[in-house]
Amino acid sequence: MDIFDLFQRLGLALAIGLLIGLERGWQEREVAEGGRVAGLRTFALIGLFGGICGALEPRLGGIAVGLLFMSLAAILAAFRWLEASQNHEYGTTTIVAALLTFLLGLFAVMGDMTTAAAAAVVSAILLASKRALHEVLKRITWEELRASLILLAMSFIALPLLPDRTVDPIGALNPHELWILTILIAAVSFIGYAAIKLIGEEKGVLVGGAIGGFVSSTATTLNYAGLARSFPQQRLRLSAGAILANLVMAIRAIVLVLIVGSQPARLIALPLIGFMLGSGLVAAAFVRRTAGQAESGTPPLTLKNPFEITMALKFGAMLAVIFVVAKWLQGVAGAKGVFVLSAIAGLADIDAMVVTSAHSASGALGVGDAAIVILIAIISNTFSKVVLGAITGGMRMGLQLALGGLAGLAGMAAGLYVAPFVGLGLTLW
C-alpha cells in the first residue's frame, strides 16, 4: 500500500480506539485517575498499536504479531487482577473491549476499512447498551428464551436439511419455502411481542392495541373484548385499541407482501392507506371522547410468544393447508376459487392468505388476483373481529368495532376508486 493509504488506515485504527475508549471512559468517568485499567487515551493507543502491528506484519510475520497480541492480553489481565484485588469487582468487559480494539486496529490496516469501522460502531453500541440489555434480560422469561432458541435451532439447523422442491402430487408444497414463510410470520409477530415486553405491558390500552396488532390483531381484539365485559367503563377506549390493532393489521400485511413478493404491494397500497385512514379517524374520535378518563383498573394486554414451537407449527400447518387448497381450487375454479378460500381463511387470520398470494403473485395467480385475495382476506377478517367483539365483549362493543370496520372499508373503497387515476387500479370483475 502507498503512504497515503497507510496513513488513512492508521487514522482509522486510531479513530476506532478513540470511539471505544470514549464509551469506556464515560462508563468509568467517576473512577479516580489511575484507578482503571484503560481509559480514553489507552484505548486510542491500543487501536493505533493494532494498526502499526498490521502495517509491520509483512516484515515481522504473523507469529510475531500474535505474540504482541498475547503480551498485550497478559498486561491487561495483570492490571485487571490488581484492580479487582482492591475493589473486588471482577468484570472483564474492559479487557475484552481493549483486545477487540487491538484486533479492529489490526484489521483496519490489513483488511476492509468499512467493515472495521462498522464493527467498531457496533461494538461501541453494545458496550453502551449495558443497562438496556440487562433490562431486556429481566423481562424475558425462561419459557420465552427456550422457545426462541428452539425455533432458531430448527431454522438454522433443520432448514438446510429440508428439500427445496415440491413433494406432493399437485406441486403445492415446498418444505424449504414453507418453513421460511412460517419463520417470517413468526418473526413479524415476535417484533410486536418484543415491543410490548420492552415498552411495558402496562403502558396503556392504545399502545398495547397498536403494538398487539403486529403480534395478532385477532388475539388483541379478543383480549380487549374480554376486558370490556369486566371493565365496561373502559369499553370505548378498549374498542379504540382493538380498532388500532385492526389498522396495524393492514401495515403488517404490507410488510409481509414487501418481504415475500413485492409486486402486489403497489396495487394494495392506496386501498390499505384508505382503510387505515378510515379506521384511524374512528379510533381517534373514540379516544377524544375518553380524554381525561383514567385507565386504572384495566389489566395489561397479554399475548402469547409467537416463537413458541407449537404456535410456529400451527402457522406452518395452516400455511400448508392453504397452499394445497389454493392450488386445488385454482385448478378447479381458477382465481374465483382462491377468492372464496381467502374469504373463508380470512375469518380466522390473514397471514396465511397474504403470504400465499404474495408468494404466488409472480406465478399462476398473477399480481392483480393476488392483490384482490389480500384485500378480501382483510375485509373478511375485519368482519370476523366485529362478530367476535360482539360475542365476547357485548353488543355495544360489537357496534363500536363495526363503526371502525365500516369506516375502514369505506376508506378502502375510496382508495380503490382513486387508484385507476394514478395507474394503480385493480380489475375487480
**Distance (Å, whole) CA 200 – CA 135:** 11
Whole-number pLDDT of residue 429: 44
Mean pLDDT per 10-residue interval, the chain, length 429 residues: 85 92 74 58 90 90 89 83 67 83 93 92 88 74 76 78 79 78 75 68 72 84 85 87 92 89 86 95 91 61 70 77 76 76 84 82 77 91 92 92 96 91 65
* Greatest CA separation for the chain: 83
Q: Which sequence spans correspond to the domains of the chain? A: 3-128, 141-422
**Which among 86, 83, 109, 85 has a CA at the least distance from the CA of 95?**
83
CA dihedral 268, 270, 274, 280 (to 10 degrees): 80
**Distance (Å, whole) CA 426 – CA 400:** 30
- Count of CB atoms situated within 10 Å of the CB of 145: 13
Whole-number pLDDT of residue 76: 82
3-state helix, strand, coil in the chain (%, to 5): 80, 0, 20
- Count of CB atoms situated within 10 Å of the CB of 246: 29
CB 300 within 8 A of CB 224: no
DSSP state of 85: H
| Nine cell digits for residue 210 | 397498536
Q: Is the pTM of this model over 0.85?
A: no
CB 50 within 8 A of CB 70: no
To which residue does cell 413468526 refer?
186
Whole-number pLDDT of residue 403: 96
Whole-number pLDDT of residue 358: 84
| Nine cell digits for residue 106 | 489490526
Proportion of the chain above pLDDT 90, given as a percent: 27
DSSP state of 159: G
**Which among 198, 68, 210 has a CA at the least distance from the CA of 137?**
198
Q: How far is CA 206 from the centre of its chain?
A: 20
CA distances 388 to 65, 138, 401, Å, are 68, 35, 10
